[in-house]
Amino acid sequence: MKIFSESHKTVFVVDHCPYMAESCRQHVEFDMLVKNRTQGIIPLAPISKSLWTCSVESSMEYCRIMYDIFPFKKLVNFIVSDSGAHVLNSWTQEDQNLQELMAALAAVGPPNPRADPECCSILHGLVAAVETLCKITEYQHEARTLLMENAERVGNRGRIICITNAKSDSHVRMLEDCVQETIHEHNKLAANSDHLMQIQKCELVLIHTYPVGEDSLVSDRPKKELSPVLTSEVHSVRAGRHLATKLNILVQQHFDLASTTITNIPMKPTFSVFDQEEQHANTSANYDVELLHHKDAHVDFLKSGDTHLGGSSREGPFKETITLKWCTPRTNNIELHYCTGAYRISPVDVNSRPSSCLTNFLLNDPRYKIDGSLEIPLERAKDQLEKHTRYWPMIISQTTIFNMQAVVPLASVIVKESLTEEDVLNCQKTIYNLVDMERKNDPLPISTVGTRGKGPKRDEQYRIMWNELETLVRAHINNSEKHQRVLECLMACRSKPPEEEERKKRGRKREDKEDKSEKAVKDYEQEKPWQDSERLKGILERGKEELAEAEIIKDSPDSPEPPNKKPLVEMDETPQVEKSKGPVSLLSLWSNRINTANSRKHQEFAGRLNSVNNRAELYQHLKEENGMETTENGKASRQ
C-alpha cells in the first residue's frame, strides 16, 4: 500500500465555457403528480440539464463516493475553467467535503452562454491543475517532516480529470501537449522551492462530453504514456446519465473499489425515514441495496473460490457485484467476532429509499465527543493503572480488606491521585468504623484454608487486617498531603506502643524476599523515612488522647502468623515453591511466618535489604563509580 499514490491528489478541471451551457438533450419529466387531479391539466414541459450540470453532478458523485470510502488522505482540488481558472478549494482536509464544493460551485453558477467564446478555454484550468499538483498537501508535509533526511521518499503523484467539450482529436492532442509542457516548467520551479514538490507521475483523464444524439468528434483512447511523468487517456462520452456512469466506473478503477449487493433486506414501515404518507410507506417488502467499498473486502471471498460474482451486471462488465444476504442482527449481541477487515462503504444509489433505510438503520444516534485536555488522556490512563495496581492482591483468600464491605469507602478513593476533604473524612470514618468493629469483636472474613483448627484468633485477625490496610494506604501516601493524613489517622487508630515496635525491630531477623507491594511502598517512602517516624510519634501522642476511649490494640508477637498471610503480589517470587519440596519442621514454619509478619512492620536496614544470602557487600558505591555491574542480588530488573 502506498499513501502517496496517484489517488492521493485528484484535480477536477471542468469546462465552464459558453458551449457547456448547451442542453444535454436528455429530458427529465419532473411534473409527475398530476393523477387524481381534475382532468385537463397539462403537465409542465420536461426540462433538460446542460452539459455543465451533467459534468458537475457526475463529478460530485465521484467525490461523494471517494469521500465516503476515504474520508482522509484522498484529496480533491476542484477547478473551473473559462476566461481564467477558478480554484474552488485547497488540499487542506477542511476543504474536503461535499458541502464546501457545492457552495463554491453555486457561487460560480452555470456558464454564461453569451460570454465571448474566444476568451474562454479549458487550458487555463489545466495549467492551474498542474500548478496545484505541485503544491504540497498537509499529509505530504507531515510525512516529510517526520521522515527528516528520508523526506525524498514522500512521493508526489496525482490525477487530473478534465471534463470538456473538445473540437477534435488534434484539439485533444494540443491539450495533452500543454499539460506535458506545463509539468515540465513547473517541475523546474518546484525543484527550487520548499513549498512545492515536483510531479513524479501524473495521470491525465480527458473526458470529452457532448449532447446526446450528436456525433462525437473525438475518439476514445486507452491509457498511453506520453512521457515518464505523464500518462493520458481519452474518453468520449455522451452527456446525461452516460457521463455519470462513466465517472462511476472511473471512481471504482481509481480507488480499487468493488461492489456488494445486499439482498433481501426487510423493510418494515417502522424503518421508514420518510413521511408516512409516501406511497409505499405501509408496505413491507424486501429490497436490495448495492454498496461500493474497497476491493480488499472481496479478497477472502475470491480466495475461498465460492464466488457469487456476476449478480446484476446490467451496467456493463465492470459492474460485477458480490451478493450477500441480509441477516437481521440479534439484539444485545455483544460478542467479539473475528473480523479480518472493515471497509468503509458508499451506497451506489445514495438517496434511493432502500439505501436510506439501510443506512439509517445502521447509523446510530449521534454520540458526543470526549473533551480533550492538555495532558494526553492515554498517559493519564496508564498513570491510573499504575496507582490502582500498587497494592493488588491476586487471590481472594489472600486478602482480608478486599473481602470487607466496610473497607470499600477507603479502598475506592485512596487510589485516586488527589483526595477531597470529603474523601479524607470518609477514609477516617472507615477507620473509626473498623476500630469499632474490633472493639465489638466482629468476625473478619479471614480465610482458614489450609490451616488446621479454627485459624487465627480474633485479635490476630484484626492485626492482619490492620497490617494489610496499612500496606494499601502506605502505597499511596506520596500522592498528596491528604493521603498522608489518612495514614496518620490509620496509624493513630491501630495504636501500638512505640517502645514495643522498637523492641521488635531489634530482635528480628528478616526474610530475604519481600513482596512487590512492599517494594512499591518502599519506593514511595524512601525519600523521607526519618521525618515520617518523627511525625509519627507526634501523631501517636495525639491519637492516644483522641481515642482515649478506644481500646488499645495490643500487638502480640507471640501469636503465630496465620499460614495464609503470604506476601500477596508475588507471582514471580519462587522461594515459596521451594518450601513445599520436602518436609518442613514445625519450628521453621512458625519462625518463617513470624519473620514474614514482623518484616512488614519496620523499615528494613538498607544493608540487609540489598544483601545476597544475608551478606551485604560493603562499599558498593566504589564499584558503581567504577562502572561495574552491581545488580546481582537476585532482584530482577523487571520494573
Footprint of other proteins on residues 554-573 (CB under 8 A)?
Answer: 569-572
Q: Please identify, using beta-carbon distances, which residue of 94 and 549 lies nearer to other proteins.
A: 94
End-to-end CA distance of the chain: 38
Instruction: Tell me which of 189, 191, 285, 350 binds other proteins, using CB under 8 A.
Output: 350
Binding test (CB under 8 A) with other proteins, winner from 25, 221, 387, 601 = 387
Q: Which three cell numbers stand for residue 541?
A: 501522642
632 near other proteins, rule: CB under 8 A: no
Q: Does the protein bind other proteins through residue 586 (CB under 8 A)?
A: no
Position 95 contacts other proteins (CB under 8 A): no
Per-residue x/- track, 511-530, other proteins (CB under 8 A): -----xx--x----------
Regarding 382 and contact with other proteins (CB under 8 A), the answer is yes
Asked whether position 506 contacts other proteins by CB under 8 A, the answer is no
* Total number of residues that touch other proteins (CB under 8 A): 131
Residue 200 or 611 with smaller CB distance to other proteins: 200
- Binds other proteins (CB under 8 A): choice among 83, 97, 559, 633: 97
Nearer to other proteins by Cβ, of 54 and 435: the residue is: 54
Name the one range near other proteins by CB under 8 A: 228-236, 386-394, 428-436, 552-560: 386-394
For position 352 contacting other proteins by CB under 8 A, the verdict is yes
Half-sphere exposure (Cβ direction) of 488: Cα atoms closer than 13 Å: 21
Report yes or no: 414 and 427 within 8 Å, Cβ to Cβ: yes
Cβ-based nearer residue to other proteins, 150 or 219: 150
The answer to whether residues 259 and 321 touch, using CB atoms and an 8 Å cutoff, is yes
Residue 1 binds other proteins (CB under 8 A): yes
With contacts defined by CB under 8 A, name the span among 61-69, 159-167, 502-510, 586-594 that binds other proteins: 61-69
Name residues contacting other proteins, limited to 141-180 (CB under 8 A). 143, 147, 150, 153-155
Which residues within the stretch 287-326 sit at the binding site for other proteins (CB under 8 A)?
291, 293, 297, 300, 303-305
Q: Does 394 bind other proteins (CB under 8 A)?
A: yes
| Euclidean distance between CA atoms 190 and 197, whole angstroms | 5
Instruction: Take residue 3 and report the three cell numbers written for it.
Output: 499513501
Q: Are strands 47-50 and 201-210 parallel, antiparallel or unpaired?
A: unpaired
Residues 416-475 that bind other proteins (CB under 8 A): 416, 447, 449-450
Binding of residue 374 to other proteins (CB under 8 A): no
Contact criterion met (CB below 8 Å) for 293 and 257? yes
Q: Cα 368 to chain center, whole Å? A: 15
Phi-psi region of 266 (alpha: psi -120 to 50; beta: other; left: phi over 0): beta
Residue from 371, 422, 545, 629 in contact with other proteins (CB under 8 A): 371
Q: Which of 362, 374, 618, 622 binds other proteins (CB under 8 A)?
A: 362
For the chain, the farthest-separated pair of C-alpha atoms sits apart, in whole angstroms, at 116
CA 433 to chain centre: 44
Task: Name which of 33 and 548 has its Cβ closer to other proteins.
Answer: 33
**Helix axes 516-525 and 458-474, enclosed angle (nearest 10):** 50
User: What are the φ and ψ backbone dihedral angles of 243, each rounded to 5 degrees?
Assistant: -65, -40
Question: Taking CB under 8 A as the criterion, which residues in 225-264 touch other proteins?
Answer: 241, 244, 260
Give dist(CA 410, CA 427) in Å, integer.
Answer: 5
Q: Which amino acid is at 30?
A: F
Of residues 25-54, those binding other proteins (CB under 8 A):
28-33, 37-38, 41, 44, 47-50, 52-53
Contacts 24+ apart (CB under 8 A), 229-232: 229/180, 229/183, 229/187, 229/199, 229/200, 229/201, 229/202, 230/176, 230/179, 230/180, 230/183, 230/202, 230/204, 231/201, 231/202, 231/203, 231/204, 232/176, 232/179, 232/203, 232/204, 232/205, 232/206
Q: Which is nearer to other proteins, 82 or 438 (CB)?
A: 82
Residues in the chain, how many?
639
Quick one: 189 or 571, whose CB is closer to other proteins? 571
